Amino acid sequence: MSGLSGPPARRGRCPLALLLLFLLCPSLVLAISFHLPINSRKCLREEIHKDLLVTGAYEISDQSGGAGGLRSHLKITDSAGHILYSKEDATKGKFAFTTEDYDMFEVCFESKVFHTMNPLISFSGTGRIPDQLVILDMKHGVEAKNYEEIAKVEKLKPLEVELRRLEDLSESIVNDFAYMKKREEEMRDTNESTNTRVLYFSIFSMFCLIGLATWQVFYLRRFFKAKKLIE
């Protein structure tokens, strides 16, 4: 009987081990890559919480070798249209900003052709000029912190750095749950307010219907008496 209890215990520890491996290995986060045709614009949107550090690295590969005067522009804006980062003729670089409020942020890449010395080059995006390859690695919150620099400044040991990372991650999870709880409370208040308004509207509609029915009864009664159909 004791031999049968071993495998389930090991299977039970596997999810915990995978979770710890995921938490301790932030490098598992992969970058986003896509192709950007010429004379086109592509945007990525993401909702980010308040007071979070957002960092990113981008690289735009021009496979045309500079032919056709290809230029790529990068712009990061919030839902109000405020420009958080902008780069003309972007090829490779990094950006960083801190969010002031919970909002929807938009990262837009735009490819344009300014001039060309070769009349055989097509500007349709499907001709001789190949699409540009865009690689974007965007991180926020705990992922955006540079723990190597923190370790150098505070002279932390590797184990202390990992503990700091887990502490920040735990705080981030707690903040996420607190935010979800706040949103749940707001939604509950909204539902209760809506239910109250619907109840009052239903009562008001019922009184209106009762009043209208009573008025119709008295009106028809007077009408029939005037026509001497009833006494």
Residue-wise pLDDT tens digits, 11-70? 444 454 444 444 444 434 457 888 888 888 999 998 888 888 888 899 988 655 555 567
Residue whose tokens read 């003309």:
88
Alpha helices in the chain (DSSP H): 6-24, 147-154, 158-226
State the pLDDT at residue 13: 47
State the pLDDT at residue 189: 93
Residues 64 and 133: beta-carbon distance below 8 Å? no
Superfamily of domain 31-116+129-177: GOLD domain (2.60.120.680)
Residue (of 129, 139, 87) closest to 108 by Cα position: 87
Residue 99 sits at the vertex; the CA angle it makes with 59 and 172, to the nearest 5 degrees, is 95
Q: How far apart are the first and last CA of the chain?
A: 97
State the pLDDT at residue 3: 42
Residues 132 and 125: beta-carbon distance below 8 Å? no
State the pLDDT at residue 32: 87
Residue (of 152, 160, 165, 167) closest to 26 by Cα position: 165
Residue 227 amino acid letter: K
State the pLDDT at residue 115: 57
State the Cα–Cα distance between residues 144 and 147, nearest whole angstrom. Answer: 9
Residues 101 and 54: beta-carbon distance below 8 Å? no
**Residues of the chain scoring pLDDT < 50:** 1-14, 16-29, 117-126
69: phi > 0 → left, psi -120 to 50 → alpha, else beta; which? left
State the Cα–Cα distance between residues 153 and 156, nearest whole angstrom. Answer: 8
Residues 3 and 39: beta-carbon distance below 8 Å? no
State the pLDDT at residue 230: 73
State the pLDDT at residue 49: 81
Rg (CA), the chain: 32
State the Cα–Cα distance between residues 26 and 153, nearest whole angstrom. Answer: 21
Residue (of 112, 133, 37) closest to 68 by Cα position: 112
State the Cα–Cα distance between residues 201 and 195, nearest whole angstrom. Answer: 10
